[in-house]
Amino acid sequence: MSDPILSVTDLSVRIAGLHILQGVSFTVAPTGVTALLGRNGVGKTTTLRALVGLTPRGGEVSGSARFGDRDALHTPTHRLVRAGLGYVPEDRCVFAGLTVAENLRLAERPGAAPAYDRVYALFPELDKRSRQRAGTLSGGQQQMLAIGRVLLADNTLLLVDEPTKGLAPKVVTEVAEALAAVAEEVPVLLVEQNLAVVRRLARDAVVLAAGRVAWTGAADKLLGEPELTKALLGVGSQGVHA
Ligand SMILES: Nc1ncnc2c1ncn2[C@@H]1O[C@H](COP(=O)(O)OP(=O)(O)OP(=O)(O)O)[C@@H](O)[C@H]1O
């Protein structure tokens, strides 16, 4: 098997006196989608934020996260971004007062030609709405803008946090379809609560529990065993279809 694109070893994060991650180790394959799963509040977002150097001020991070020839935990965020690490945060973080086109322009990287063709082929809606203020887009359109922004550059790994959260079922399907297309080009570490989306997209799964990795393996194996799914995630997987 090819080398992982990301190898996380013994990642620990303490924030505000809480030992949230207590020695998390896992790898992300260089192709396809790896789902990072776990019950609410287990530390999935904390993991992604630690990987991109966005742990809240005062938080303590230790361990290592090998990304290419770097340790992501000891590399400033802007260098990681330049090295091809794309991050789509949970709250989307679009600039509400700016237009769609302006949001995209801000995401251009100096010295690299922005791939507007790729973004508009995947999300034609962004092209149509280029002059609309991002704050007036629907939740699904804002999510597309947040994903579109990272796709302007040639990334080698995307970290995507709960992209379907709060979206209507039809829009969940649209976003999942778009991510499936994205994942054909670039590997994705995906935090996702919607197991239908996980089933649709993920080949590999990593499950966090009590600050550690509780299970890793094939996503379809996890979701194909209702008792395992229930034990690890606290929810059933039956009747889950994207
Ligand atoms: N800045 C912070 N200050 C205090 N506690 C925090 C902070 N950030 C995260 N936590 C706590 O750390 C734990 C993990 O949070 P995190 O958001 O990583 O979980 P999660 O698995 O992504 O949850 P969810 O599935 O609900 O989004 C939670 O108990 C949360 O309250």
Mean pLDDT per 10-residue interval, the chain, length 242 residues = 91 95 97 96 96 94 95 94 92 88 90 90 94 93 93 94 92 92 95 95 96 96 92 71 46
Q: How far apart are CA 58 and CA 14, in angstroms?
A: 9
CA 123 to chain centre: 18
Neighbours of 105 (CB within 10 A): 14
Per-residue model confidence (pLDDT) at position 190: 98
Hey, what are 29's tokens?
Answer: 């394959």
Per-residue model confidence (pLDDT) at position 62: 97
Report helix angle 169-183 to 139-151, nearest 10: 10
Which domains, and CATH codes, for the chain? 6-233 (3.40.50.300)
For atom 23 of ligand 1, the residue with the nearest CA is 41
Question: Where does 68-211 show beta strands of DSSP type E?
Answer: 70-71, 85-88, 157-161, 188-191, 202-209
8 three-state secondary structure: strand
Side chain identity at residue 197, one-letter code:
V
Cα 47 to ligand 1 centroid, rounded to whole Å: 10
49 ligand 1 Cβ < 6 A:
no
41 ligand 1 Cβ < 6 A:
yes
Per-residue model confidence (pLDDT) at position 1: 60
40 ligand 1 Cβ < 6 A:
yes
Q: Report CA torsion sign: 177, 231, 40, 204.
A: negative
Hey, what are 19's tokens?
Answer: 């030992």
**CA diameter of the chain:** 51
Per-residue model confidence (pLDDT) at position 31: 96
Per-residue model confidence (pLDDT) at position 107: 86
Cα 42 to ligand 1 centroid, rounded to whole Å: 7
DSSP classification of residue 4: P
Q: Report CA torsion sign: 181, 182, 184, 188.
A: negative
Question: Measuring CA to CA, which residue among 143, 66, 52, 130 is closest to residue 98?
Answer: 130
Q: Give the predicted TM-score (pTM) of the model.
A: 0.93
For atom 16 of ligand 1, the residue with the nearest CA is 43
> Contact, 185 vs 15, CB < 8 A?
no
Neighbours of 117 (CB within 10 A): 8
